Structure 1
Amino acid sequence: MLVCRQWRDIARDDYFWKCLCAKKWPSVCKRPPASSMSYHKFFQTFSRLSFKDLEFYIDIWSERRLIFSEAVPGSVLRAGIKSPPSGISDSMKTYLEGPNYKMMMPVEPQFTVPRENPVSVSVLVGRSDSKKVASIVGQALFDYVDWSTFRALAYEFLSLSPNYPFVSGAWVSLLFMAGAGDDTVQVFGVEIDFYDAASSKNDVPWLLDMLDWK
C-alpha cells in the first residue's frame, strides 16, 4: 500500500528518528552520546513502552450481535500462534510458518462468522505505565476475504499523535479453518498487522507509543 511505502521511506531516514529523539530527550541532540548507534536504534533502545505494558481490547460484531470479546495481554499477541489447530489449510500453514513477524492469538473456543452478514471489529489498546488508552481500529468492516490464505481482513488508519506528521494503518485479520460451510466459516485466530510500519517485535511498541493516547 502507498501508506506503508511512505512510512517505509520515512523510517529509513535517520533524520526523522533524530527529530523523535529530540522530542523525548532534547539534550541528546544537542550533544550526541559517544555511541555508534543511529538515532533510529537509540529511539528503539530507550523508548519505554513494551509488550508487557500493553493490553488489547478486541470486540467483534456480526451486524449488531457481539460474537467475540476479549481483553488480551500484549505478551499473548507477541507470542503468536505456536501450535496451530488441525484442520487448517496448507496455505494457512505456509502463511503461519512464514518468516515475517505476526502479532496474533489463538481463539479458544473457536467461533463462527456468517458469510453474508457484515462483520466488524474494534481494537483498543491500554498501557499500564500511563493508564491511558488508544484506538487501533474502530468498527472496521472485514470487507476483504483472501480465500488463498483463508483470512478476512479489516483496515483502518491509525489515530497517531499530532506530534508525528505521517500516516499509517492497521490490518486486523480473522484466520479461518479449512472446510468452510455454505453459510458460516470457523475462526481459530485473530491477527493484528502494521505491515512495513512495524514489521518486528521491537517495532510494534514504538509505533504504538506514537498513538493518540487519551
Structure 2
Amino acid sequence: GRQWYDHGKLASKRNTFDDFVACAKHLVDIGITTPDRLVARGGSAGGLLMGAVINLRPDLFRAIVAEVPFVDTLTTMLDASLPLTITEWEEWGNPAAEHDTYDYLESYSPYDNVRAVPYPAILATAGLNDPRVQYWEPAKWVAKLRVTTTGDAPIYLKTEMGAGHHGPSGRYETWRDEAFILAFILDQLGVS
C-alpha cells in the first residue's frame, strides 16, 4: 500500500534495492533456485533496480534484463532541461537544490557505482525516441560496464531505432522484441 511505497522513495529508496536482494537471496537460501539459475528483469525505474542490485550483489544473478533502464540517475536528475526531471523530483529528490539528496542519489545510481567485479550477463535495451529515459543512459552504462567488469559474461545493448519508452509499436514488433529478450534469457540459462 501507500506506506510501503513511501518507504521506497526519496531518502528511503535504498529499501527497494535491499528488499529485492533479500527476496532473491531467500529464493536461493530455501533451495528454489541458485544464483546460476536466477535471472531478473525490470524496465525504466525497474531498470534502475536491476542496475542497483547487480552493483550490490553481482554474484546473486546469472543474468539481468534492464529495459530502457533509468541508470544514470544522478546526471538525469541534475538536468532540469530533460522532459521529466522536474516532475520526478517528488519521487527522487532534487540533487541540485539539496546536497544530501545529491550524495544519496550518487550512492545508488547504477552508472556511478559500477565497479571492477565480475558482473552477470546483461541485456540492456534503449529506444532512440524515448522521451523518459534518453537512449544515451543505457548506452553510457553498458559502455562503462564493458570496460570495468572483471568477468567474461556478455553485456549487450539493443537499441530500437524507431521505439519510444514502451518499446516498438505494433503487435508483431512487440512479439519480436519479447522473443529476443526470452532468447537471451534462455541462452544464459543454457536452454537450447
In the superposition, the TM-score normalised over structure 1's length comes to 0.20
Higher helix share: 2
Higher strand share: 1
Larger radius of gyration: 1
Which is bigger in relative contact order (C-alpha 8 A, separation at least 6)? 1
